[in-house]
Amino acid sequence: MNIVKICVFCASSERIRPQYLEMAEAFGRELATRGHQLVYGGGKIGLMGAVYRGAKAVGTHITG
């Protein structure tokens, strides 16, 4: 099986609507659930942080 790394760059602002944060976190969880790895900009806030938290919750490899 090939390792798939998905790179995500998005807003790291704290002024994001909650529904967008929820969708970004769900995306991170789904990415990890499917066995993919996350490569991202390293931010822990905003949409980037939400994607990170979702992927981390499932336990995939994260670079960023």
For residue 5, list its beta bridge partners: 37
The Cα 1–Cα 29 span in angstroms is: 20
Q: What is the pTM of this model?
A: 0.93
Per-domain residue ranges of the chain: 5-63
**In contact, 27 and 54? CB cutoff 8 Å:** yes
CATH 3.30.300.10 at 5-63, yes or no: no
pLDDT per residue rounded down to tens, the chain (64 residues): 788 999 999 998 999 999 999 999 999 999 999 999 999 999 999 999 999 999 999 999 999 9
The number of C-alpha atoms within 13 Å of 28 and in the hemisphere containing its C-beta is 28
Collapse the DSSP code of 56 into the 3-class scheme (helix H, G, I; strand E, B; otherwise coil) and give the result.
helix
